[in-house]
Amino acid sequence: MGFGMLNYSCRILRTGLYQHGDQSCTHKCTVCAKVFRHKSKLSRHLRAHTGEMPYQCGECGKRCTQLVNLKAHMRSHTGEKPHVCNNCLKGFSTAVEMNIHMRIHTGEKPYMCDKCGKQFRQQKCLKIHMKTHTGEKPYSCEDCGKQCSQLTALREHMRTHTGERPYRCAKCDKRFRQASTLRAHKRTHSDKILAVAV
């Protein structure tokens, strides 16, 4: 008998199981065709398609597809940040978060918009940006009906109704609705210092 591939069917996982002559096995997802060496890894992967989230946080009720994700989430409650950036010593609860942060130092922006060429450090930022091209505005204000492309933009807009100003200047106690407005305001303090020094 040769070392050709023999196709078996796995009824439980509804996936193709391929066994080679050297006894190594690969398990293939029928939804996205991704291949795994171990059946247990395929089982975990399938939760991404089925939406099954068997692991639940005892603190806040958040559900996760994998135990490793739940353990990483639990650090948001304990404050544990075992992954530390070598450049600025900022701590992170997961290695993934730290790797994304490292792009600030390296300047790497691996996600590029195929419409306008703008580049992003994170895939989620590219997805948000794409809504500027599609015109999609899935978030709407219950008070006035204004529609926003981003949830953060809706939250900022809601402050026009609530009057909430969560961003405070440490120098003069002036408060702002948006972090960007506070940053611009802080520059006025440094400009005043420069004017006095001249």
Alpha-carbon span 147 to 138, nearest angstrom:
7
Q: Is 84 left (phi over 0), alpha (psi -120 to 50) or beta?
A: beta
Alpha-carbon span 107 to 152, nearest angstrom:
24
Give residue 147's pLDDT band: very low, low, confident or very high (50, 70, 90): very high
The average confidence (pLDDT) of the chain is 83
Pick the CATH number of 55-106 from 3.30.565.10, 3.30.160.60, 3.40.50.150, 3.40.1360.10: 3.30.160.60
Judge whether residue 103 has pLDDT over 50.
yes
Q: What pLDDT is stored for residue 40 in this prediction?
A: 87
CB-side exposure of 181: number of CA atoms within 13 Å? 10
Give residue 26's pLDDT band: very low, low, confident or very high (50, 70, 90): confident
Alpha-carbon span 108 to 58, nearest angstrom:
37
Q: What pLDDT is stored for residue 21 in this prediction?
A: 42
pLDDT digits (tens, 9 = 90+) for 106-131: 999 999 999 999 999 999 899 989 98
Give residue 87's pLDDT band: very low, low, confident or very high (50, 70, 90): very high
Give residue 27's pLDDT band: very low, low, confident or very high (50, 70, 90): confident
In this prediction, what percent of the chain has a pLDDT beyond 70?
83
Q: Where in the chain is the domain with CATH 3.30.160.60?
A: 55-106, 121-191
Alpha-carbon span 69 to 61, nearest angstrom:
14
**Cα separation values, 58 from 44, 47, 100, 181, Å:** 21, 21, 28, 38
DSSP helix/strand/coil, 120 = strand
Q: What pLDDT is stored for residue 15 in this prediction?
A: 40
Give residue 2's pLDDT band: very low, low, confident or very high (50, 70, 90): very low
Asked: is 121-191 a CATH 3.30.160.60 domain? The reply is yes
Q: Angle 131-135-141 (CA atoms, 0-180°, nearest 5)?
A: 90
Q: Hey, how many other C-beta atoms are within 10 angstroms of the C-beta on 15?
A: 23
Q: What pLDDT is stored for residue 113 in this prediction?
A: 95
